Structure 1
Amino acid sequence: MQADAEAESDEPDVSITLEAAQMDWVGAQIFRNECAGQLDCLVHWNVGEKFPSLGIGHFIWYPRGVEERFVESFPALIQYMMQRQASVPEWLRELEPFDAPWPDREAYLASEDSVEMAELREFLAGTQGLQAEFIVRRAKQSLTDVVAAAPEEKQEAVRNRLKSLTATPGGIYALMDYVNFKGEGLSQMEQYHGQGWGLLQVLLAMEKQSPDQTALTRFRKAAADVLTRRAENAENPIERERWLEGWLKRLETYKEPAEMRAST
């Protein structure tokens, strides 16, 4: 039996620590979730979206003039890459402002065979380790931000749930993937009818799950409830009719490495 121990905490540490092999496993899982391990998917523009998604984490990149409710992450990734002295393609470095160079999906599709697109795919294929580092870095910062954003009377419970999740590779993977996948849940823009769908909302929803289950199981089930609520609240029916099934399937990978090997 694994409970939150919500009444027994004294500000537990909720840092993320991964060994090299564990980092490789987490990065591979995220790449598999976003791209099914296919390198062509490292630069992608989904039907029904106004922006491309790039890299192993499908980091969002807005074209000029596009402002959506989702947090943009590709510019921050490239900034991190440049700080780490990665060989960012010159045309990418010279973009000013740093907006996606394709105004819409049609323009993107028309440029798929261009030299610039080939360079971009090659660059993203060769920097998967740095992209995984970026995801870890973002997730680490998210833990502090999420606890601080929780209602004061629930902060200790949220902190303890995070401590339980960061105690195992599977829990760390779930946290990292979910932050990369659906965000921290801190932006008021990322809400439908006043209800968010990020990490904070999932951690709060864990209180509805049975304490007899592991923290990872409760997280997985709470995430399914939160994403189902999002799809039901969405104005665009594509979320209910096409995307929700894939989201729920992704959540089923939130297991410990041994469980994943046993199920494949």
Structure 2
Amino acid sequence: MANASRQAAWEFWGTELKRRREDAGLTQEALGRRVFVSGGYIGQFEQAIRKPQLDVAVRIDEVLQTDGFFERMWRRLIGASPFESYFAAVAELEALATKICEFESLLIPGLLQTPGYAREVMLSATPLTSEEELDEKVSARLERAQIFKGPAKPEYWAIIHEAALRVPVGGAAQMAEQLDHLVALVRSRRVVLQVIPYAQGAHSAMSHSMKLMEFADTPPTVYTEGLFWGQLLDDSAMVKRATATYDLLRAAALSPKVSLPLIESAAESYRSS
């Protein structure tokens, strides 16, 4: 399903939500209370600005007694996404975020990956995938990075562990290209990037990835990911804990000014190997 037709389908989802909510005599705030989100969220669902998570779609069906309509349509739309089901909502939110703070321990964050690097990462995870499917996934990942080029680009801050610079994804030439890309993004002032050096030792968050997102008129969220799973949370207590963890990672990292020469040095090492 193409992006335009998928967006049209989400708009239909939102229109139906509004119609059936009003038929039930509920305001956005009243429905929000019953499905455990804010009334503002319900309004954004109805305008197809923000996409609900599956558990919210299920609760909407229960409250409005719609016999699984919203859950079934949600599953169809998420299934048509080029992203894994647990990540599809995150990709939608990245385009709405005013600020994104990200941490990766072993890989370059997806938003900062080159086509060749992204391809190697995806191929290593699914070595039997077809070329067509692989091309679609790589294109979808690169499309996400378009958020850096628009007038409403978010403030983006990434922290990576030094291991992400040293793991030779795709070989030396591929890594040199990827690290050169990071340097170019930093020097163009599109991103702020810090590196946690090996010398800092262990940190409790190093076995996970983390993405914090802030928005203009809705609460912030945190997304964490492991092998074949991901969790998107907007519970204020969890977001607060994640923010505190990110602050500790930032304190453990080299400054942006010191991190840049380390990335440049790693790129040069790959070029000369």
TM-score tier by shorter-chain length is: under 0.3
TM-score (norm 2): 0.27
If each structure's strand is expressed as a fraction of its own residues, which one has the higher value? 2
Q: Which has the higher contact order (CA 8 A, sep 6+)?
A: 1
Of structures 1 and 2, the larger Rg is shown by 2
